[in-house]
Amino acid sequence: MNLDSRIDWFPLYLSLRVAALSTIAVVTVGTALAYLLSHRNFPGRNLLESVLTLPLVLPPTVLGYYLLVTVGRSSPFGAAYESIFGHPLVFTWQAAVLAAVLHSAPIYIKAARAVLDEVDPRFERAAQSFGASEWNTFWRVTLPLAQSGLYPLAALAFARSLGDFGVTIMVAGNIPGRTQTLSVAIYDAVESGNGQLARTLVLIVSVVALALLWPGSYLLRSFRRREGA
Amino acid sequence: MKFIDARVSKAFRLPKASEEFKLDLHLETESTAVALLGPSGSGKTLTLNCIAGFVQPDDGRILINDELFFDSRERISRPPRYRRCGYLSQEHALFPHMTIRQNLLFAAHSKPRQKWASGGGLARRRAANEILEAFELTSLADRRPDQLSGGQKQRAALARVLINEPQILLLDEPTRGLDARLRDNFYQLFDRLRERLNIPVLLVTHDLDECLRLAEYVFYIEGGRIVQSGSRYDILTRPATLSMARSLGVYSCVPAEVVALDPGRNVSRISAAGLVIETSYLPGHLLGDHGHVCIRNSEITLLDDSASGVNCFPVAVLRATPAAGGIRLELDGELSATVNQEKWLALGRPTRLKIHIPPQAAHFLS
């Protein structure tokens, strides 16, 4: 055994932090978008839905490229960010959060929309007929009825945020100790022939993902059962 | 003041139907206990949804209590939350994630503010307690809807609608799925409320008994159109069409021909089921007109053998079956009658007997 076998836990810590922040962003913004898609009829709804699905089918490199163009140092957004925070957004862990959001939001929005569609409209209609505002109806009726269906999706978003590779490496790079997430570290370990490290990290990612998804499937089933009853 | 003045038209294609369904009707009445009666799929619930604001009519104008809810020409459509309609359906729609008390408080809280400008939460709580008491729900207040029986749920749903103080009650088959006793409890509760609160009611039902029990004025709807409107007795005694008479299910409908007309004596004779039935004069009909005669089952009475007179006929009994209102007899010539059980037993369950059809009970439809 040499020094290499000592495992650097930074990628795991970074990945968990990135995934947590990304999940918070995806659940708040994604639920709002899913609600708009499911409950509102507005011009351009289909276009918005298609655009939101696009990241699911495009290669990660294409997404990474778009993201670089949007938040790179020469873009207006990137420049504004740099002038506020004093450092560029690209090749930081914050960029890794963006990459994780891009990776997990589409699938969350699609599934959350389906969950919100399944909420029986008679409850929302009842709330409206009492005079409740749309905002109140959403918070006190729609969301509580949908929440057991949304929890497993949040877990899914977390697991997916944990697993992004392509977009992360394009916008956050592979800087050990700064932007190297788990999936990037695994790639690095394999490339440099560090089989033991690769195996350990692979095992960690797999176990964490399974631990997230397994209970979720029970929750989702209980949601379906209640809505079906 | 008219309680309802609603002209509604809406066309759409149901997923599996080849033909387009078209709702096109004009409800207009001053009565404050109104029913839309009709077979399922006739557009009753759709009409109710148009009034509550959950469905937009293609065309029309809806005035309730002189308030404009919808006008397609002026492009006005008041959102459901400003229509103040208390909507009660057979599916009660109590929020499953809240207790009964929370359900009531939600409804009280959502009410547009003015009344409880001072007092707020405390006043709402007191109102909820009062109504829970009135509806005998106090002991169930902290349970969730799925822990309640069907009758309790329906009572809680009505309480929740009423605490919201709606302008009008829309009831969509409110007692469907309840047994006879619970149904009766619901009607009694309802009567007391109507006396006290005087809220106008629009009821949707396919049940003739419920319609007669709760409504004073009835619109009979079939295929999205009004077939007949009038007081509940008009509807019951003089159905406008054969299909309506058949679907109400309380008539014998027999092919018939007009064989005599005498305006002077206000008498007509109709030949049906091998009998010549005397009835009042039929204006607008000619000798030899073919149609159907409808006779309400419960109006046919049994006579002793010796009896004779106008519209007394000897007939053969094909079958006798016990029914809720007595004994249901199927007679020769597609006639049927519901008769008193004691009378039937006293006559010794005969295979031939004499019946009397009151002249005003025979109703000719061409």
**Between B209 and A35, the higher pLDDT residue:** A35
> Which helix (H) or strand (E) element contains residue A192?
none
* pLDDT tens, position by position, B147-171: 999 889 988 999 999 888 898 999 9
Question: How far is the C-alpha of A66 from the C-alpha of A77, rounded, in Å?
Answer: 13
Residue B244 lies in a domain: no
With contacts defined as CB-CB under 8 Å, which chain B residues touch A148?
Answer: none
Q: Tell me what pLDDT residue B79 has.
A: 92
Query: Which structural domain range is residue B291 located in?
Result: 250-365
Q: Is B111 within 8 Å of A130 when comparing Cβ atoms?
A: yes
Q: Which of B106, B144, B146, B172 to mutate to test the interface with A (most CBs of A within 10 A)?
A: B106
- Extract the tokens encoding B181: 């006793």
- According to DSSP, the residues that pair with B5 across neighbouring strands are B28, B63
Which residues have a Cβ under 8 Å from the Cβ of B312 and sit 6 or more positions away? B303, B354, B355, B356
Q: Would you call B236 exposed, middle or buried from its count of C-beta atoms within 10 A (0-12, 13-18, 19+)?
A: middle
Asked if residue B281 and residue B175 are part of one domain, the reply reads: no
B83/A129 touch (CB, cutoff 8 Å), yes or no? yes
Which pLDDT score is estimated for A158? 93
Nearest by CB to residue B80, choosing from A129, A140, A141, is A129
Distance CA B234, CA A160 (A): 68
Which of these ranges, A7-21, B112-126, B201-215, has the smallest mean pLDDT? Answer: B112-126
Per-residue pLDDT band at A5 (split at 50, 70, 90): low
**CA of A222 to nearest chain B CA: how many angstroms apart?**
14
pLDDT average, residue stretch A48-67: 92
The per-residue pLDDT of chain B, averaged, comes to: 87
Alpha-helix runs per DSSP H in chain A: 10-39, 45-57, 60-71, 76-85, 93-118, 121-129, 134-137, 143-162, 166-171, 182-191, 195-228
Bridge partners of B204, per DSSP, are B36, B172
From B125, B215, B137, B113, select the one nearest B170 (Cα to Cα). B215
Residues in chain B within 8 Å Cβ distance of A226: 96
User: Chain B closest CA to A155's CA: distance in Å?
Assistant: 22
ipTM value greater than 0.90: no
Mean pLDDT of the B61-67 span: 91
Angle at A215 between CA A211 and CA A221, to 5 degrees: 150
Distances (CA, A) of A145 to A149, A155, B44, B95, B111: 8, 18, 29, 9, 22
Give the phi and the psi of residue A151 in degrees, each rounded to 5: -55, -50
Q: Which of B237, B268, B289 is the last residue of a domain?
A: B237
Q: Answer whether residue A144 shows pLDDT above 70.
A: yes
Percent of chain A at pLDDT > 70 equals 96
Calpha distance B254→B245 (Å, rounded): 11
> Parallel, antiparallel, or unpaired for β B168-172 and B267-272?
unpaired
Quick one: pLDDT band at residue B186, thresholds 50, 70, 90?
confident
Percent of chain A whose predicted confidence (pLDDT) is above 90? 67
Q: Give dist(CA A223, CA A229) in Å, integer.
A: 10
Q: How confident is the model at residue A228 (pLDDT cuts 50, 70, 90)?
A: low
Looking at the domain assignment, is residue B243 inside a domain? no
Instruction: Count how many domains chain B has.
Output: 2
Minimal Cβ distance to A132: which of B54, B96, B110: B110
Residues B50, B140 share a domain: yes
Domain check: are B31 and B116 in the same one?
Answer: yes
Question: What confidence score (pLDDT) does residue B320 get?
Answer: 87
Query: B184 and B317: one domain?
Result: no
| Residue pair A36/A179 in contact by the 8 Å Cβ criterion | no
Residue B242 forms part of a structural domain = no
Is residue A227 very low, low, confident or very high in pLDDT (cuts 50, 70, 90)? low
Backbone dihedral angles phi then psi of residue B45, each to the nearest 5 degrees: -65, -35
Asked if B91 lies within 8 A of A131 by C-beta distance, the reply is: no
Q: Pick the residue with more confidence: B273 or A67? A: A67
Residues B35 and B164 both lie in one domain: yes
Nearest to A131 among B96, B97, B110 (CB): B110
**Is B129 within a domain?**
yes
B200: helix, coil or strand? coil
Contact A127 B110 (CB under 8 A): yes
Residue A14, pLDDT score: 93
Residue of B87, B95, B112 lying closest to A131 (CB–CB):
B112
The pLDDT, as a whole number, for residue A2 is: 46
DSSP B258: E
Residue B85, pLDDT above cutoff 70: yes
Q: Is A42 exposed, middle or buried (0-12, 13-18, 19+ CB in 10 A)?
A: exposed
Task: For residues B77 and B130, state if they share a domain.
Answer: yes
Best residue of A130, A139, A141 to probe chain B, by most B CBs closer than 10 Å: A130
Burial of B228 (0-12, 13-18, 19+ CB in 10 A): middle
- The predicted pLDDT at position A109 comes to 96
For residue B346, pLDDT over 60 is answered with yes
Q: For residues B69-93, give the mean pLDDT.
A: 90
Q: At what angle do helices A182-191 and A10-39 cross, to 10 degrees?
A: 130
pLDDT band of B304, cuts 50, 70, 90: confident
Query: CB of A141 within 8 Å of any CB in chain B?
Result: yes
Q: What is the mean pLDDT of chain A?
A: 89
Share of chain B above pLDDT 90, in %: 30
Q: Hey, are the CB atoms on B110 and A122 less than 8 Å from each other?
A: no
- Percent of chain B at pLDDT above 70? 98
Number of residues assigned to chain B: 366
Burial status of residue B365 (CB atoms within 10 A of its CB: 0-12, 13-18, 19 or more): middle
Å between A211 CA and nearest CA of chain B: 28
Helix (H) or strand (E) holding B360: none
Based on the fold, state whether residues B299 and B341 are members of the same structural domain: yes
Specify the pLDDT at position A1: 41
pLDDT at residue B176 tops 60: yes
Specify whether B278 is located in the same domain as B142: no
Mean pLDDT of the region B246-266: 85
Closest CA to B50 of B15, B87, B18: B87
What secondary structure does DSSP assign to B139-176, as a single string?
GGTTS-GGGS-HHHHHHHHHHHHHHT--SEEEEESTTT
Last residue in a domain, options B237, B262, B280: B237
Domains of chain A as residue ranges with CATH: 7-228 (1.10.3720.10)
The pair phi, psi for residue B303, each rounded to 5°, is: -120, 160
- State whether B198 and B282 are in the same domain: no
CATH assignment of the domain containing B22: 3.40.50.300
pLDDT in tens, B319-341: 888 887 788 888 887 888 888 88
Return the residue of B nearest to A140 by Cα: B106
Instruction: Please give the order of strands across the beta sheet that includes B76-77.
Output: B20-29, B4-13, B59-64, B67-71, B76-77
Tens-place pLDDT, residues B230-244: 998 888 888 888 888
Q: Note whether residue B245 is domain-resident.
A: no
CB pairs under 8 A between A and B: 54
Cross-chain Cβ contact A129/B106 below 8 Å: no
Is residue B318, in this structure, part of any structural domain at all? yes
For residue range A173-213, what is the model confidence (pLDDT) as tens digits? 898 889 999 999 999 999 999 888 899 989 988 998 888 88
Asked if A129 lies within 8 A of B52 by C-beta distance, the reply is yes
Question: Quick one: B99 and B214 in the same domain?
Answer: yes
Which chain B residues have a beta carbon less than 8 Å from that of A41?
Answer: none
The answer to whether the Cβ–Cβ distance between A122 and B91 falls below 8 Å is yes
Task: Please list the alpha-helical segments (H only) found in chain B.
Answer: 44-52, 100-110, 120-134, 150-163, 180-197, 208-214, 232-237, 242-248, 341-346
Helix (H) or strand (E) holding B348: none
Q: What is the pTM of this model?
A: 0.81
Q: Is the dihedral of CA A179, A184, A186, A190 positive or negative?
A: negative
* Cα B284 versus chain centre, distance: 30
Residue A167 binned pLDDT confidence (cut-offs 50, 70, 90) = very high
B275, B309 Cβ separation under 8 angstroms: no
* Overall average pLDDT of the B28-48 stretch: 90
Same domain (yes/no): B111, B61: yes
Highest mean pLDDT among B1-5, B185-189, B217-221, B251-255: B217-221
Interface of A with B in 210-229 (CB under 8 A): 226
Residues of chain A with Cβ-Cβ distance to B83 below 8 Å are 129
b/e map of A128-146 (b: 16 or more CB within 10 Å)? bbbbbebebbbebbbbbbb
Cβ distance B274 to B254 under 8 Å? no
Q: Which residue in B213, B206, B208 sits closest to B189, CA to CA?
A: B213
Residues of A in Cβ contact (< 8 Å) with B93? 122-123, 125-126
Task: Say whether both B123 and B207 belong to one domain.
Answer: yes
Is B335 among the domain residues? yes
- Which residues, 6 or more positions from A80, have their beta carbon under 8 angstroms from its beta carbon? none
String of b and e for A163-176 (b: at least 16 CB within 10 Å)? bbbbbbbbbbbbee
Boundary of a domain, candidates B198, B213, B237: B237
pLDDT band at B3 (very low <50, low <70, confident <90, very high): confident
